[in-house]
Each structure stands twice: as structure tokens, then as C-alpha cells.
């Protein structure tokens, strides 16, 4: 039975009953309810417990400002922690649970902390738990276990998300009266308009009020406006869409909630969509938040914002109380009294702190026979898990707010609901996020937008306009101004007619005095979620935390899931009081995205899982897979690591692959090498500056091993480069460095040397590269119909030419990374698999063996070739690598100057050496540090480290490559590899070239 549900009225559908559960009990609500309205309809007031003191808490608000009604929805992989009951739309089967309270939210053992609250004042944890030191981890565990709200899911998210980009002329945040009016004004002009509102229905406060616009019910006006907008193709309406971030250059992010309100579903459509909007103009019309009043025990369930009470009555057909007291310092709450009376509740009194009372509305209220007590305040509430009564007292401000109220003056009024209103605060969040300033209005008693840095304007209650006609007018003007800015035709839309009323101004009342001083009276809460009270702010000021940011951080004010939407302004005003300064001087803390919490998944979009960073595969990948290759991740690529024969392990496979290559022929897919095509009249000039060697002296058709340095003179990347024409070069880079080298070259070309006429094209994916290496590699190519001579005389080592191989056009390079006679074949990627298969077929006669990256590493290590990124780390000069011969002396190149710095010339730099374990059996882990003194104690001086290490199949014993202090001069000496277990393995220093030092085989 929905005991608080009204017989009629509201925007819910009473014929569509929805079953739901809260804390295990079954309830019913109606379609159109939020979880909060459904709970209130069922008379459920106690929703949760507070963060620190475990005080019973109920629903306070009706939207994003709600601090208390934070629940966990559902269970399993799709569970949602920390949901705001006021924002969760009810659906059949919804299952919600309170987040605090053990064993139950009604009986919570933790609530004893409330008794000790005076020892748990702001920042208490900074002052204790220090000794003995060991116990801190124990205390910390207690703190952690008691902190936090909801439970994270433990399984992967079953839903998916997407991103959409949009451009528009006018983006309107908020579809209340101001936002709708702005949209109407803009729609006719043909401008591209996006209007977004976080709620399920457009209309904003109009859905909760009983006003009339153009002589029709406000809700009818809303329906009409939506209808009009729907007829404009240039208008995109986004309900359930929160504008949560405002970044530079009018870049605005919107989270559209697509499926959460549908309940159980199969996760086959997008759950949430992130709109990334670049808008020419932004109109901010998000309305205002009502402020609570601050008095003792103002946190009891049954104490609600007056506007929220009106919302529940008018929009949801729920009357949250039978005997109600209204407490306000402004006129707006009188509407709540009228709404309650109309709903059949008994309004026991309207307590107005102002001696003057209200304007027109007071008469309306009094005409219903409701008592209005002006010059009074509610100073305390009674009750336990729900409010039972309020204590009121006479009140007047003569100069200053009285420090305390006399106890004998207190009058108790029984009630089950207290509707309060401390005035309104514009939602300046997005304006502030945009970089706009806000100032304190002494007239309106709130922060209002003041000056923008981006193309945006605020309108309506978000701009401090409280009256409906002001909101409509501001919306209209903002809409027209935006259109004018876009250079489009302005419509002659007129301002709708509304009835104005006389109001009295608000009386600033930031803290209601109590019978005792704030330190001793029952808690007067500022931030409900974090249990921050007036006494906490006072203590912070007393302890010298005076800046608003310090106070926020010391007291946790505004740090909750509501981000202080409810309590911050009161907190700042109380801070101002204790500092003895005007609020304007105190200022606010910074408003940061997200406006309301936004799912990680939404921000990440579709770029997760296998799409996180799509795998790059070569054109021959399928063949490798079919051959049973094991793969290694290199950059974004998957490369064959080794090709096990049967159940061979890595070592066995590598040994076989290496020996076959040295003996007959091996074949490797080297397609992942970065490839850059360089053309243009200044190609030589450009490459001379990039590479260290004499590029200009290269003959067409020749290849060279090239290195490039960073500005610091350290080796950056390497690769073979070839001169294909007078003004045409082809560069290769390391697999991992491909993208960064390309950007590096473009950076220089575009920003430093724009005068050079050079064009760079990445051809990494265009060509696949197949490397065949080994003494019979030449015969192999001849066996597949090579149309040119491959003899050393015609096609010498380090040269390139075009050719056809089994009728496919290819480019051949006579280069070798294994030390054997070898050819690299570039072929259009479409033909790569065909060519590979042809080679494999023909290769049967030569015992051809495919090999992977591991064998490639071993073969090159035996030959003493460097791998950039493995053997170097950004701190290695060419000289350290025995590459001084590559530094052309008669030209300048990047990094050259740095090579003359004293540190680059030091004799004891770490230099490139080979190492052989003295016992000729131990394979040392790559990365192991080298030391000289095995008896030294920490910090043990290190003289280098092992960068590559293998059990060499060719040599029959382990070898390693290392960077060793002064290594160039140390051949034959002994150093130690320091193992994880503390042992030190003696290693003999050798040349890094272990195999064919004269290079005869590759030149063959």
C-alpha cells in the first residue's frame, strides 16, 4: 500500500504499478516515479546512515543535490554503487539497498560513534594514531573499512558505451523555462541546436510547480514547447543527458543515460553515450539549488527542502507528511505550504525568520487558515529515526545574529515533516568550469555568474533570476543573442505571459542560533553526507585553517558524492561569519567536472577490451598462426616470437631456428619495421641533419646503416636507409620507434625547417618485408624466378634494386641483421602471403626454417648488433656503441653539439661490451646489474648492466651484451653479474662481436 500516494495529480501513471525491493522488502510504485518518490509514497523515511557518525538519514532533496539517499542498485556484474535515489527512475524489479548500517539501517551498531562525536571533530585523525608507529596500519584498516559508500562490482561490466562527436551553433544545458525558451528562440532560425537535460522529462521546475504560462498550466506549456522543438530538424533534444564538463574552446561533454531506467535488459544496446560537443555558443540554464537551513538536528529523516516537498506533491503525487511545519527565510517556501494544503496535509505553521513575513503568498497561505509565525525560527528538531517535533523560538536580527536563544522561549510543535528553505543558489558549476568568474550578490545573497572567458551565457535561475517571467525572458534573450552571434535571422518570438507576484526579499540566515553555543549544542549540519557541522568549521578557523580550501579539506565540507551542491554555500557563509569577513571575500572552492558523477565506462567509450588499442598484425599473420607460432607483443604489433616444432619449448625452438639459418636458410616476417618514404629537392639536406653519416655521398641504389640522435646526443633510433633516387630515400626504423620517429621528423620539418622542400610518407603498412638469411638464401631467390642477377658483383652487400620474384614486383635489399648472406624483400602487402608461401615451397629443398623475434635477437647478438630500446636507454652515445666512425665530421647533425659536452667525453662512460660467463654455462637474466666488488655493502657501486643475454646455439655457450663502465678498454677483465639470490657470477669482458668479426659471411 502506498500510504502517502495522492489519489490524483502528478505525472506518474497509477495504472502501471511497478514492484521493487528496498533493503529486502517488497514495495510498489508507479511508472514515472523515482526510487525516492516511490519510497516516500510507501512511507519509507530512513534511507541510510551518515558517513562518520552513522546518524539516521532520509531523503532531503529531489535531484542531483541529494546528499543522503545514496543506495546500491542491483547485484552481480551489473550492480551500481552510490546511486542517488532521487535520480534513479523506478522500474519493475528494481532492487535497492542502503549502503550503511550494520546489522541493519534501522539498528546500526556504528551509531555509537555519534555518542563520541565530540572526540571525532574535524581533522581528529591528524592528531592521533601516530604512536606506536606499527599500529597505524591497524588503525588505517579500521578507517578504511568504515569509510566508503557502495560496493564496486567484482565482474567485468556487461554493458557497453559509445562516444559521439557533434558540432552545434547553440548548446543549451537545462530544459527548464529558461532553457526551453532559449531553444524556442533559436529553433526558428535554422541554427543547429542541442538542448540537454539530466532529467527524464524536459520542463525543469515547471514540472513541480502550479504556475500558469500563457494562460495554460505550465506543464501544458512545456508539452507544447517540446512539440514545437520536435518539429525542427535542426534541434536535437537530449533528455536523461547530463552536461557534466565544460572544457576549453567551448568543448562540452554530455553523458546520455540510455538504458538504466529500463531495468533488466540484455545489454545489447549502448548503456550510456558520451556526446563530445563543440558549440559556437553555450547557454547555461541549469537552474538553482535550494539551500537548507542550519539548525540543531537539521539532519533528521523528515527534514526536507521545501521545493523537494513541492516536487513530490506536484510531480509525483506523493505527500511526504501529514503534519507539516514549513520553515523559511524567503517567500518561495510558502508555495510548498500551499501545495501541501492542497494535497490534504495539515500545515501546522509556517515559521518565517523575517519580521516582515512574505509578500502576496503570505496572504494566500493565511487565507487557508494556516498560521504564519513571522520573526520565528526552528532551532532544533526532536525524534529518532524520523522527525517528531520541532522546537521554535522568537528571533530577530538587531545588528547581528544573537549568539544563543533563551531556553525558556522554546515552543514545541509536533510534526512528521519539516519543509525548509534557506533561499536559492544558482547552479554556477558549468559557468565556473568554463573559466567564468562568479561574484557574491549582496542583493540576491548568492553567487552569480559574472564575466565569461568563453562563448557562453547564463540564463534563468542559474543566473539568479527567481521569478518565472524573468527566467522566460532571460532564456528568450539568450536564445536571440546566440542566434545573432551566429549571424542568423532572429525570430520575433514574444515572451509568454505569466502572472507576477509581490515578494519580500530574503533574509540572510546562515545559521540559526541554538540554546547553547555551536560547540556545545546538538549538531547543526552543513554537509549532511560528510557530517560536517557548524562546530567543525568553527574549529577549523580556530586552528588557523582559514582559507576556504583549507576549511573544505580539513572538515571534508563538500567532498561527498553531491560535491557540496546542498551544503557548500551555507558552509562558506558560516566560515565568513567566523572569520569576520564578508562572504564575497571568502569566495568559493573551485567547481570541477564532473557536474554529477559520470561513469568511467562512458568516458572510455567503445575504446576498451580488444578495441583498447587495436592489435596490428602483418599480412602474413594467418600463416604464422597456422604454423603454431607463439607471439610476442611489440608496440601495437603481434610478432611471431618462435615457431615451436611439436612441443618444443622456447630454448629448443630457438636453437633449431638459429642453427638452420646459419647452416642453410631461415625466413622471417620483418614487416613491422617502420618504413618512411622521403622525397623532395631538399631530401639530402634534411637527412644530413637527421642522420649522423654522410647521406649526400650515398650513391643511388646504395644502402647505409643510419643512426639518429636526440638533441642530447644520445642514440634515438637506427635502421637501414636506402637511396632510391637523387631526391628519393627510403628509411627503416625500429618496430617500436616507427611512429615516434615519423613524428620526430615531421616536428623538425614543420616547426624548425619549414623552408625545406621534403615530403615524408609512412609506408610501413604498404610494404611487407620478408627477410631470408643464410648461405643458401641466394639460391632460394633464384629458385622462385628472380629476374635479375643476385651475384655479389651485380648486387653487392648494402645495395638495393627492384626485381620480380615469382612474377611479383619487389624491391630487394642486400642487408643482414643476422650476419649471414641475406636479402630483405619488400613486397606490396597484398602479395606478401603469396610470396611467403612461394618461398616456403621452394625452400623445402633448402631446409628453409621460419624464425621469430627471439631467434632474430640471438642471431644479431652473436654478431654484436645493437637493438635500440633493449641495449640502449636514451643515455648511450654512438661512441659508447663503437659507432664513432659513423659521425661525419664535416657536417652538422642533430645531437652533434651535445657530443662535445664533458660528460659525453668521459672515459669511464658505460660502453658496449660482450660478456661470457666464466663458467660458460650460466645464462644471466637480462637486466642484471654488474658489480666489481662482491664484498661491498649497499649501496653497492654498479658498473653496468646486462642488456641482452642468450645461450648462443652457434657458439655453444652463453653470451651477453652489456653496457659497462669504461668497457671499451676492458677486454679480458672480469666483472660480476649480481643475481637476485645474492650470488655473483664472474663474467669475462669480450668484444660484443662474437661471430664472424670480419663480416665475411654477410658480404659473401
Partner 1 sequence: MKYSALNLLRNGLRHNRDWPEAWRHPEPKSHYDVIIVGGGGHGLATAYYLAKEHGLRNIAVLEKNWIGGGNTARNTTIVRSNYLWTEAALLYEKSMQLWEGLSNDLNYNVMFSQRGVYNLGHTLQDMRDIERRVSANRLNGLDAEIVTPDQLKRAIPALNTSASARYPILGASLQRRAGVARHDAVAWGFARAADALGVDIIEQCEVTGIERRNNKVTGVQTSRGHITADKVGVVVAGHASVLANMAGLRLPIQSHPLQAFVSEPLKPVLDTVVMSNAVHGYVSQSDKGELVIGAGIDAYNGYGQRGSFATIEHALQAIIELFPSFSRLRLLRLWGGIVDVCPDACPIISKTPVNGLYFNCGWGTGGFKATPGSGWAFAHTIARNRPHELNAPFSLDRFATGALVDEHGAAAVAH
Please list every residue from 544 through 573 that binds partner 1, using CB under 8 A. 544-547, 549-550, 553-554, 559, 561, 563
Residues ≥6 apart with Cβ < 8 Å to 535: 121, 518, 519, 523, 524
Q: Choose, by CB under 8 A, the member of 7, 115, 233, 248 that binds partner 1.
A: 248
**Looking at beta carbons only, is 19 or 590 nearer to partner 1?**
590
Binding part of the chain for partner 1, among 463-471, 599-607, 781-789, 815-823 by CB under 8 A, reads 599-607
CB of 788 to partner 1, least distance (A): 38
Q: Does the footprint of partner 1 cover residue 712 (CB under 8 A)?
A: yes
Longest dimension (CA), the chain: 116
**Looking at beta carbons only, is 545 or 691 nearer to partner 1?**
545
Binding part of the chain for partner 1, among 186-194, 302-310, 501-509, 595-603 by CB under 8 A, reads 595-603
**Looking at beta carbons only, is 369 or 982 nearer to partner 1?**
982
CB of 925 to partner 1, least distance (A): 5
Ramachandran class of 888: left when φ > 0, alpha when ψ lies in -120 to 50, beta otherwise: beta
Q: Does the footprint of partner 1 cover residue 608 (CB under 8 A)?
A: yes
Are the CB atoms for 381 and 297 separated by under 8 Å?
A: yes
**Looking at beta carbons only, is 286 or 734 nearer to partner 1?**
734
**Buried b vs exposed e over 404-425: b needs ≥16 C-beta within 10 Å?**
ebeeeeeeebebbbbbbbbbbb
State which H helix or E strand residue 834 sits in: helix 829-843
Nearest Cα to 422, choosing from 365, 377, 363? 377
Residue 32 CA: distances (Å) to CA of 7, 87, 309, 958: 15, 12, 17, 74
Q: Does the footprint of partner 1 cover residue 452 (CB under 8 A)?
A: no
Q: Choose, by CB under 8 A, the member of 267, 276, 469, 655 that binds partner 1.
A: 276
Instruction: Round to whole Å and give the CA distance between 426 and 447.
Output: 7
Q: Does the footprint of partner 1 cover residue 253 (CB under 8 A)?
A: yes
Are the CB atoms for 108 and 53 separated by under 8 Å?
A: no
Binding part of the chain for partner 1, among 34-42, 112-120, 288-296, 579-587 by CB under 8 A, reads 112-120
Q: Choose, by CB under 8 A, the member of 23, 28, 82, 224 that binds partner 1.
A: 82
Site for partner 1 in 966-985 (CB under 8 A): 978, 980
Q: Does the footprint of partner 1 cover residue 432 (CB under 8 A)?
A: no
Are the CB atoms for 328 and 353 separated by under 8 Å?
A: yes
For residue 84, list its beta bridge partners: 70
**Four-residue CA torsion sign, 618, 620, 622, 624:** negative
Site for partner 1 in 116-155 (CB under 8 A): 116, 118-119, 121, 124-131, 133, 136-137, 140, 143-145, 147-155
E strand spans, 300-453: 303-305, 323-328, 346-352, 372-374, 376-383, 387-394, 411-414, 417-421, 424-426, 438-441, 446-449
Q: Does the footprint of partner 1 cover residue 947 (CB under 8 A)?
A: yes
Site for partner 1 in 719-738 (CB under 8 A): 736
Rounded to 5°, the CA angle 138-144-146 comes to 110
**Looking at beta carbons only, is 255 or 413 nearer to partner 1?**
255
**Four-residue CA torsion sign, 993, 998, 1003, 1004:** negative
Instruction: Round to whole Å and give the CA distance between 691 and 402.
Output: 80
**Looking at beta carbons only, is 5 or 431 nearer to partner 1?**
431
Binding part of the chain for partner 1, among 60-68, 248-256, 278-286, 793-801 by CB under 8 A, reads 248-256
Q: Does the footprint of partner 1 cover residue 684 (CB under 8 A)?
A: no
Q: Does the footprint of partner 1 cover residue 605 (CB under 8 A)?
A: yes
Residue 478 CA: distances (Å) to CA of 463, 472, 485, 490, 592: 11, 10, 10, 11, 24
Whether the upstream peptide bond of residue 594 has omega within 30° of 0, thus cis, is yes
Are the CB atoms for 89 and 261 separated by under 8 Å?
A: yes
CB of 901 to partner 1, least distance (A): 3
Residues ≥6 apart with Cβ < 8 Å to 48: 57, 68, 69, 70, 71, 98, 99, 100, 101, 105
CB of 70 to partner 1, least distance (A): 9
**Looking at beta carbons only, is 487 or 941 nearer to partner 1?**
941
**Looking at beta carbons only, is 754 or 941 nearer to partner 1?**
941
**Looking at beta carbons only, is 828 or 942 nearer to partner 1?**
942
Q: Does the footprint of partner 1 cover residue 938 (CB under 8 A)?
A: yes
Site for partner 1 in 465-524 (CB under 8 A): 519-520
Q: Does the footprint of partner 1 cover residue 752 (CB under 8 A)?
A: no
CB of 126 to partner 1, least distance (A): 5
Nearest Cα to 298, choosing from 574, 639, 606? 574
Decide: helix, strand or coil at residue 338: helix
Site string for partner 1, 901-930 (x = CB under 8 A): xxxx--------------------xxxxx-
CB of 107 to partner 1, least distance (A): 20
Cell of 660: 638452420
**Looking at beta carbons only, is 504 or 547 nearer to partner 1?**
547
Q: Does the footprint of partner 1 cover residue 115 (CB under 8 A)?
A: no
Site for partner 1 in 218-247 (CB under 8 A): 245, 247
Are the CB atoms for 424 and 505 separated by under 8 Å?
A: no
Site string for partner 1, 609-628 (x = CB under 8 A): xx-xx-x-------------
Q: Choose, by CB under 8 A, the member of 23, 92, 110, 157 that binds partner 1.
A: 157
Long-range CB pairs of 337-340, under 8 A, 24+ apart, other chains included: 337/365, 337/370, 337/419, 338/210, 338/364, 338/365, 338/368, 339/210, 339/309, 339/310, 339/313, 339/314, 340/309, 340/313, 340/419
Binding part of the chain for partner 1, among 29-37, 301-309, 632-640, 803-811 by CB under 8 A, reads 632-640
Q: Choose, by CB under 8 A, the member of 601, 701, 775, 966 that binds partner 1.
A: 601
Binding part of the chain for partner 1, among 619-627, 682-690, 812-820, 871-879 by CB under 8 A, reads 871-879
CB of 117 to partner 1, least distance (A): 9
CB of 182 to partner 1, least distance (A): 25
Site for partner 1 in 16-45 (CB under 8 A): none
Number of residues that bind partner 1 (CB under 8 A): 114
Instruction: Round to whole Å and give the CA distance between 319 and 313.
Output: 5
**Buried b vs exposed e over 848-885: b needs ≥16 C-beta within 10 Å?**
bbbbbbbbbbbbbbbbbbbbbbebbeeebbbbbbbbee
Q: How many CA atoms lie within 13 A of 692 on its CB side?
A: 28
CB of 24 to partner 1, least distance (A): 19
Site for partner 1 in 575-594 (CB under 8 A): 590, 592-594
CB of 256 to partner 1, least distance (A): 15
Binding part of the chain for partner 1, among 89-97, 541-549, 797-805, 809-817 by CB under 8 A, reads 541-549
Instruction: Round to whole Å and give the CA distance between 907 and 911.
Output: 9
**Looking at beta carbons only, is 591 or 686 nearer to partner 1?**
591
CB of 133 to partner 1, least distance (A): 6
**Looking at beta carbons only, is 190 or 593 nearer to partner 1?**
593
**Looking at beta carbons only, is 140 or 443 nearer to partner 1?**
140
**Looking at beta carbons only, is 218 or 856 nearer to partner 1?**
856
**Looking at beta carbons only, is 375 or 966 nearer to partner 1?**
966
Amino acid at each position: 500500500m502506498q500510504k502517502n500516494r495522492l489519489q490524483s495529480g502528478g505525472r506518474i501513471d497509477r495504472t502501471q504499478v511497478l514492484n521493487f525491493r528496498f533493503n529486502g522488502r517488497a514495495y510498489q510504485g508507479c511508472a514515472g516515479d523515482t526510487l525516492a518518490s516511490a519510497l516516500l509514497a510507501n512511507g519509507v523515511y530512513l534511507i541510510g546512515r551518515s558517513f562518520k557518525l552513522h546518524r539516521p538519514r532520509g531523503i532531503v532533496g529531489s535531484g542531483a543535490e541529494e546528499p543522503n539517499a545514496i543506495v546500491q542498485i542491483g547485484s552481480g556484474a551489473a550492480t551500481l554503487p552510490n546511486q542517488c535515489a532521487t535520480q534513479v527512475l523506478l522500474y519493475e524489479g528494481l532492487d535497492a539497498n542502503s549502503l550503511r548500517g550494520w546489522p541493519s539501517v534501522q539498528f546500526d551498531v556504528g551509531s555509537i560513534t555519534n555518542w563520541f562525536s565530540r572526540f571525532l571533530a574535524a581533522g581528529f585523525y591528524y592528531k592521533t594514531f601516530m604512536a606506536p608507529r606499527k599500529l597505524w596500519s591497524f588503525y588505517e584498516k579500521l578507517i578504511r573499512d568504515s569509510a566508503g559508500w557502495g560496493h564496486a562490482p567484482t565482474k567485468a561490466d556487461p554493458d557497453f558505451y559509445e562516444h559521439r562527436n557533434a558540432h552545434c551553433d547553440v548548446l543549451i544545458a537545462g530544459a527548464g523555462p529558461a532553457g526551453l525558451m532559449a531553444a524556442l528562440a533559436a529553433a526558428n532560425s535554422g541554427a543547429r541546436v542541442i538542448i540537454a537535460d539530466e532529467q527524464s522529462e524536459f520542463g525543469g521546475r515547471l514540472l513541480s510547480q502550479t504556475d500558469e504560462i500563457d494562460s495554460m498550466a505550465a506543464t501544458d506549456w512545456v508539452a507544447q514547447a517540446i512539440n514545437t522543438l520536435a518539429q525542427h530538424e535542426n534541434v536535437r533534444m537530449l533528455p536523461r543527458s547530463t552536461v557534466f564538463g565544460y572544457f576549453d574552446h567551448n568543448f562540452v561533454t554530455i553523458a546520455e543515460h540510455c538504458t538504466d531506467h529500463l531495468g533488466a535488459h540484455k545489454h545489447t544496446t549502448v548503456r550510456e553515450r558520451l556526446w563530445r560537443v563543440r558549440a559556437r555558443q553555450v547557454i547555461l540554464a541549469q537552474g538553482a539549488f535550494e539551500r537548507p537551513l542550519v539548525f540543531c538536528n537539521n539532519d533528521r529523516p523528515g527534514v526536507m527542502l521545501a521545493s523537494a516537498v513541492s516536487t513530490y506533491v506536484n510531480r509525483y503525487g506523493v505527500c511526504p507528511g501529514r503534519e507539516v511545519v514549513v520553515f523559511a527565510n524567503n517567500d518561495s517556501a510558502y508555495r510548498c505550504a500551499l501545495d501541501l494544503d492542497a494535497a490534504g496535509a495539515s500545515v501546522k505553521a509556517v515559521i518565517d525568520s523575517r519580521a516582515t513575513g512574505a509578500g502576496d503568498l503570505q496572504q494566500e497561505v493565511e487565507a487557508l487558515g494556516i498560521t504564519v509565525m513571522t520573526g520565528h525560527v526552528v532551532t532544533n528538531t526532536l525524534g529518532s529515526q524520523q522527525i517528531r517535533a520541532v522546537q521554535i523560538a522568537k528571533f530577530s536580527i538587531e545588528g547581528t545574529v544573537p549568539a544563543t536563544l533563551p531556553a525558556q522561549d522554546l515552543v514545541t510543535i509536533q510534526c512528521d515533516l519539516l519543509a525548509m528553505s534557506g533561499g536559492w543558489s544558482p547552479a554556477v558549476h558549468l559557468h565556473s568550469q568554463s573559466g567564468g568568474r562568479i561574484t557574491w550578490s549582496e542583493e540576491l545573497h548568492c553567487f552569480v555568474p559574472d564575466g565569461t572567458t568563453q562563448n557562453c551565457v547564463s540564463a534563468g535561475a542559474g543566473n539568479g533570476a527567481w521569478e518565472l517571467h524573468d527566467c522566460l525572458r532571460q532564456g528568450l534573450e539568450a536564445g536571440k543573442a546566440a542566434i545573432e552571434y551566429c549571424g542568423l535571422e532572429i525570430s520575433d518570438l514574444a515572451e509568454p505571459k505569466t502572472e507576477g507576484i509581490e515578494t519580500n526579499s530574503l533574509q540572510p540566515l546562515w545559521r540559526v542560533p541554538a540554546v547553547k553555543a555551536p560547540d556545545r549544542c546538538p549538531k547543526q549540519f552543513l554537509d549532511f553526507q560528510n557530517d560536517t557541522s557548524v562546530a567543525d568549521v568553527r574549529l577549523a578557523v580556530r586552528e588557523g585553517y582559514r582559507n576556504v580550501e583549507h576549511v573544505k579539506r580539513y572538515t571534508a565540507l563538500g567532498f561527498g558524492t553531491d560535491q557540496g551542491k546542498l551544503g557548500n554555500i551555507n558552509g562558506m557563509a558560516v566560515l565568513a561569519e567566523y572569520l569576520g569577513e564578508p562572504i564575497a571575500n571568502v569566495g568559493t572552492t573551485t567547481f570541477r567536472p564532473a557536474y554529477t558523477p559520470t561513469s568511467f565506462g562512458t568516458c572510455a567509450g567503445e575504446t576498451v577490451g580488444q578495441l583498447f588499442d587495436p592489435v596490428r598484425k602483418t599480412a602474413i599473420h594467418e600463416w604464422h598462426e597456422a604454423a603454431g607460432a607463439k607471439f610476442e607483443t611489440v608496440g601495437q604489433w603481434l610478432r611471431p616470437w618462435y615457431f615451436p616444432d611439436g612441443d618444443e619449448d622456447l630454448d629448443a625452438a630457438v636453437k633449431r631456428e638459429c642453427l638452420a639459418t646459419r647452416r642453410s636458410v631461415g625466413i622471417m616476417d620483418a614487416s613491422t619495421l617502420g618504413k618512411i618514404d622521403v622525397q623532395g629537392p631538399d631530401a639530402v639536406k634534411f637527412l644530413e641533419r637527421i642522420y649522423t653519416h654522410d647521406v649526400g655521398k650515398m650513391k643511388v641504389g646504395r644502402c647505409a646503416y643510419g643512426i639518429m640522435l636526440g638533441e642530447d646526443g644520445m642514440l634515438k633510433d637506427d635502421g637501414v636507409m636506402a637511396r632510391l633516387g637523387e631526391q628519393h630515400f627510403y628509411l627503416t626504423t625500429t618496430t617500436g620507434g616507427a611512429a615516434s620517429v615519423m613524428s620526430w621528423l615531421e616536428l623538425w620539418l614543420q616547426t624548425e625547417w619549414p623552408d625545406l622542400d621534403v615530403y615524408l610518407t609512412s609506408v610501413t603498412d604498404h610494404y611487407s618485408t620478408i627477410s631470408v638469411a643464410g648461405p643458401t638464401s641466394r639460391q632460394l631467390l633464384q629458385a622462385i624466378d628472380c629476374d635479375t642477377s643476385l651475384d655479389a658483383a651485380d648486387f653487392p652487400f648494402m645495395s638495393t634494386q627492384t626485381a620480380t620474384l615469382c612474377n611479383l614486383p619487389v624491391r630487394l635489399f642486400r642487408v643482414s641483421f643476422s650476419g649471414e648472406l641475406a636479402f630483405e624483400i619488400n613486397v606490396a602487402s597484398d602479395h606478401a602471403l603469396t610470396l611467403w608461401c612461394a618461398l616456403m615451397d621452394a625452400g623445402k629443398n633448402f631446409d628453409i626454417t621460419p624464425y621469430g623475434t627471439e631467434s632474430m635477437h640471438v642471431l644479431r647478438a652473436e654478431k654484436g648488433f645493437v637493438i635500440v630500446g633493449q641495449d640502449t636507454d636514451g643515455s648511450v652515445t654512438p661512441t659508447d656503441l663503437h659507432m664513432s666512425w659513423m659521425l661525419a665530421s664535416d657536417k652538422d647533425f642533430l645531437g652533434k653539439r651535445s657530443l662535445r659536452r664533458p660528460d659525453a667525453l668521459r672515459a669511464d662512460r658505460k660502453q658496449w661490451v660482450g660478456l661470457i660467463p666464466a663458467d660458460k654455462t650460466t645464462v644471466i637474466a637480462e637486466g642484471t646489474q654488474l658489480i666489481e666488488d662482491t664484498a661491498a655493502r649497499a649501496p653497492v657501486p654498479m658498473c653496468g648492466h646486462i642488456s641482452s643475454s642468450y645461450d648462443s646455439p652457434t657458439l655453444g655457450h652463453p653470451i651477453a651484451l652489456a653496457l659497462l663502465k669504461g668497457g671499451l678498454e676492458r677486454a679480458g677483465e672480469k666483472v660480476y653479474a649480481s643475481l637476485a639470490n645474492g650470488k655473483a657470477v664472474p663474467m669475462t669482458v669480450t668484444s660484443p662481436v662474437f661471430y664472424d668479426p670480419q663480416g665475411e659471411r654477410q658480404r659473401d
